[in-house]
């Protein structure tokens, strides 16, 4: 092999490369049915192809890519801020006790998933914190959380290739969650009576200002004014996150408790959203927040995957497969014996169990897709389409970040 050949992209070329990755992914998802069936995100498809090409060239002449990290981090923070800005406390109250129960189940599963990951990683001779990468960091958190925490693991805990490993686990989880959810829900359908309202109506579920969860591809029109206002909100959240992160590093830098900057961005979004709406009667344009959040996530993932160094995890292939296979079995058992029973052992509980599989190994879009596959055949479940998107849009990321921060602060794991 010849000398390493490193291509350094400035912010302009990084953005161009990321958009090319997204366009390639979009074309492939539209033309390859299996990718659309399992809801594999466009940036993941395009990004993994780019990463594989980089791997091939690296094996030939040491080729690698360095991108503008500041731009990538900015889009990551915007994505997590969008989650916080979408968390309207008035809307969350409408979920009631079922929302609290389902959120508690997800929280319990996050803890169990990490215990299993850490235990198996230790048994297989890997650093214990590697178990978090094969746990809720990637399987519940998805690609966005995987990349965000992966950077922390590399810089603060010295786990080389954490981002690459995280992306691989998140992709496996996304596919596995899509494969498991439908069969689990359909099996549970044999144990329940499908209610009359599910058989006789196809109306969509609406919460608050006509948030139609059963139509995820619905176009969202935004205006120039709403776009400017939304960008101002994002700027406030990112400035707040930067200040709080620096403040914590300066005054509590010796503490083992790590709170990443993107968690501060999410928390800032929650505060900004609810303070403005409650005390100043400001209307937050949710459609604009969603659009900017989705765009930020897509660009962030494209950049993260574009700069993956796949050659760094080739020795972890077998341990990775073992741990993720056990996590998949755990997910099925938890969905059938915990989620279904705690949520009422009825039709809605069966649909929620299918959606839970999307949470446990995948992402909120996977959870929604799993439920749609069931309700398209058996009829709508208003409770499921009320609870799952709200938990996925807000609670799961807060809980996951809290649990991960607490575990990484344990001295015997470092």
> Residue 218: pLDDT band by 50, 70, 90 thresholds?
low
What's residue 256's pLDDT?
A: 58
Q: Is the pLDDT of residue 216 over 50?
A: no
Q: What is the dihedral of CA 380, 41, 297, 114, to 10 degrees?
A: 80
The listed range with the strongest mean pLDDT (111-125, 171-185, 215-229, 350-364) is 111-125
Average pLDDT of the chain to the nearest whole number:
84
Strand partners, 6: 64
> Residue 332: pLDDT band by 50, 70, 90 thresholds?
very high
Contact 178, 110 (CB under 8 A): no
The crossing angle, in degrees rounded to 10, of helices 69-85 and 261-279 is 40
Q: Which is nearest to 332 in space by CA: 189, 170, 188, 143?
A: 188
Share of the chain above pLDDT 90, in %: 35
* pLDDT tens track for 266-325: 889 989 999 999 999 898 888 899 889 889 988 988 888 888 778 877 777 789 889 999
Alpha helices in 32-161 (DSSP H): 33-37, 42-61, 69-85, 89-93, 96-123, 130-133, 142-156
What's residue 38's pLDDT?
A: 62
Share of the chain above pLDDT 70, in %: 88
Over residues 82-100, the mean pLDDT reads 79
pTM for the whole structure? 0.74
- Tell me which of 104 and 361 has the higher pLDDT: 104
Q: Is the pLDDT of residue 78 over 70?
A: yes
Helix (H) or strand (E) holding 292: helix 286-306
Over residues 222-229, the mean pLDDT reads 91
* pLDDT tens track for 127-167: 898 999 999 999 998 877 888 888 888 888 888 888 888 88
What's residue 279's pLDDT?
A: 92
What's residue 183's pLDDT?
A: 87
What's residue 374's pLDDT?
A: 81
What's residue 273's pLDDT?
A: 93
What's residue 201's pLDDT?
A: 44
Distance CA 268, CA 266 (A): 5
Residue appearing with tokens 């922390």: 152
Q: Is the pLDDT of residue 214 over 50?
A: no
Over residues 343-367, the mean pLDDT reads 86
What's residue 365's pLDDT?
A: 67
Residues 199, 202, 204: CA angle, nearest 5 degrees: 135
What's residue 412's pLDDT?
A: 65
200-208's contacts with Cβ under 8 Å and 24+ in sequence apart are 200/379, 201/379, 201/380, 202/379, 202/380, 203/380, 204/380, 205/380, 205/382, 205/385, 205/386, 207/91, 207/94, 207/386, 207/390, 208/88, 208/90, 208/91, 208/94
Over residues 176-199, the mean pLDDT reads 79
What's residue 334's pLDDT?
A: 96
98-103's contacts with Cβ under 8 Å and 24+ in sequence apart are 98/343, 98/383, 98/387, 99/386, 99/387, 99/390, 99/391, 101/342, 101/343, 102/339, 102/343, 102/352, 102/356, 102/387, 102/388, 102/391, 103/391, 103/395, 103/399
């Amino acid at each position: 092999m010849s000398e390493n050949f490193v291509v350094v992209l400035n912010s302009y070329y990084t953005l161009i490369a990321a958009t090319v990755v997204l366009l390639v992914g979009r074309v492939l998802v539209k033309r390859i049915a299996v990718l659309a069936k399992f809801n594999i995100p466009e940036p993941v498809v395009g990004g993994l192809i780019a990463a594989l090409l980089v791997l091939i060239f690296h094996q030939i002449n040491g080729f690698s890519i360095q991108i503008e990290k500041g731009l990538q981090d900015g889009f990551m923070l915007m994505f997590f801020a969008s989650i916080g800005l979408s968390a309207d406390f008035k809307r969350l109250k409408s979920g009631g006790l079922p929302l609290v129960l389902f959120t508690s189940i997800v929280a319990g599963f996050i803890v169990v998933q990490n215990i299993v990951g850490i235990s198996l990683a230790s048994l297989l001779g890997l650093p214990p914190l590697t178990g978090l990468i094969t746990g809720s960091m990637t399987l519940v958190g998805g690609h966005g959380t995987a990349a965000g925490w992966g950077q922390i693991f590399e810089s603060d805990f010295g786990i080389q290739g954490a981002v690459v490993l995280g992306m691989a686990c998140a992709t496996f989880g996304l596919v596995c969650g899509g494969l498991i959810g439908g069969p689990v829900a359909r099996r549970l359908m044999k144990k329940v009576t499908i209610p009359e309202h599910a058989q006789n109506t196809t109306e969509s579920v609406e919460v608050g200002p006509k948030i139609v969860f059963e139509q995820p591809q619905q176009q969202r029109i935004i205006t120039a004014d709403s776009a400017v206002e939304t960008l101002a909100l994002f700027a406030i959240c990112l400035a707040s996150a930067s200040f709080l992160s620096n403040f914590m590093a300066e005054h509590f830098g010796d503490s083992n408790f790590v709170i990443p900057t993107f968690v501060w961005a999410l928390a800032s979004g929650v505060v900004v959203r609810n303070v403005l709406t409650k005390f100043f009667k400001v209307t937050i344009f949710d459609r604009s927040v969603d659009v900017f959040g989705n765009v930020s996530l897509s660009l962030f993932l494209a950049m993260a995957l574009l700069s993956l160094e796949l050659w760094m995890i080739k020795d972890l292939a077998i341990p990775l497969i073992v741990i993720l296979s056990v996590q998949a079995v755990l997910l099925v058992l938890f969905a059938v014996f915990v989620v279904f029973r705690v949520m009422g052992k009825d039709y809605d509980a069966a649909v929620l169990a299918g959606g839970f599989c999307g949470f446990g190994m995948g992402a909120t879009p996977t959870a929604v897709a799993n439920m749609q596959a069931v309700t398209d055949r058996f009829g709508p479940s208003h409770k499921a389409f009320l609870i799952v998107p709200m938990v996925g849009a807000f609670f799961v990321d807060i809980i996951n970040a809290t649990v991960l921060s607490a575990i990484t602060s344990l001295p015997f794991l470092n």
